[in-house]
Amino acid sequence: MKHTVSKEQWAAYGFVSPAAIILLLLVTYPLIYGAYISFFNTNLVNKWDFVGIHQYIDIFSNWEFVGKIFLTLKYTFFTVVGHFVLGIILALVLNMDLRGRTFFRAILILPWLLPEVVVGLLWKWLFNPMYGLFNYILMDLHLISDPVSWLGDTYFAFIAVTIVCIWKGYPMVKLLVLAGLQSISQDTYEAAKIDGCNRMQSFRYVTVPGLMPVLLVTLILDTVWWFKHFTMIWILTEGGPGDATNVVSIDIFKQAFQYFDFGKAAAMAVIVFFVCFLIGYVYRRVFSSANE
């Protein structure tokens, strides 16, 4: 029996087609082309030497890249934990019936709205060892006797970069968790109260289960975004001092635009893609098991 497409179906295809074409051009094609480049030793102009999986073998035989993956995981872990601690606490407070909460909701979202370049340059000035505000305040309070090179010290640089990224990214978690809290019906809390639940029990058995879908999506988005983050780390330290903040995104940039090894950079980017995919898969499995 021949199937005919109705006008309504053609209209649906017409509405979906622009978004599908944009996704193909801006997302799918670059991914496929990047994977294609990873099989060549190329400068993207006149050098296209096919090397197969040699780039991947070379990457995994070099423990420096594996070390950068672990450094990136460490940086991502502390950044995401900071986002969730700050974001959830602020969302819970701003969900209360307090005076001026609308004002504070607007103020506390500003770090997320500011361009990353502006945030990076602002914090770089604050951390400046010669005329930065942090050293001035700490020396004025006699907490330190000499200026500290926050971004030039191998120990402090990682901490400083993580603090900046926590400050920049917590508003997204706060906003999504706050939206999740407001979507939970008050009737559910009333029913829990009638059943004898106190405030902590209501939070455990009503609030947390109601937030789980939001928390899962937020956790995946936040982790993947900051795992592959580049802009602010590059502005603050350019991956230094040494390799203290040389996360995998910085290394990929250097391979491509400083050493002009685009094939190896593309192979590293493909590996990062699969690491991000694996992170999302593990999160979904863990949260699904927890919900069961």
**Domain annotation covers residue 101:** yes
Kindly give the interhelix angle for 63-94 and 248-257, rounded to the nearest 10 degrees: 130
The CA distance from 269 to 38, in Å, is: 9
**Is residue 40 helix, strand or coil?**
strand
Q: Which two tokens stand for residue 62?
A: 């070099």
b/e map 6-19, b = 16+ CB within 10 Å: eeeeeeeeeeeeee
**Domain annotation covers residue 248:** yes
- For residue 164, give its domain range: 63-291
**Domain annotation covers residue 9:** no
pLDDT at 240 over 60: yes
pLDDT per position as a tens digit, 146-161 = 899 999 998 899 999 9
pLDDT band of residue 2 (cuts 50, 70, 90) is: low
**Domain annotation covers residue 31:** no
Q: Is 126:136 a contact under the CB 8 Å cutoff?
A: no
**Is residue 48 helix, strand or coil?**
strand
pLDDT per position as a tens digit, 27-40 = 888 889 999 999 99
More confident residue, 3 or 113: 113
Q: Is 39:59 a contact under the CB 8 Å cutoff?
A: no
The CA distance from 268 to 87, in Å, is: 32
What's the Cα-to-Cα distance from 289 to each of 82, 87, 283, rounded to whole Å?
Answer: 24, 24, 10
The CA distance from 152 to 241, in Å, is: 6
What's the Cα-to-Cα distance from 10 to each of 5, 14, 16, rounded to whole Å?
Answer: 7, 6, 10
Q: In total, how many domains does the chain have?
A: 1
**Domain annotation covers residue 257:** yes
pLDDT per position as a tens digit, 194-209 = 878 788 888 888 888 8
Any idea what the CATH number is for the domain that residue 166 is in?
1.10.3720.10
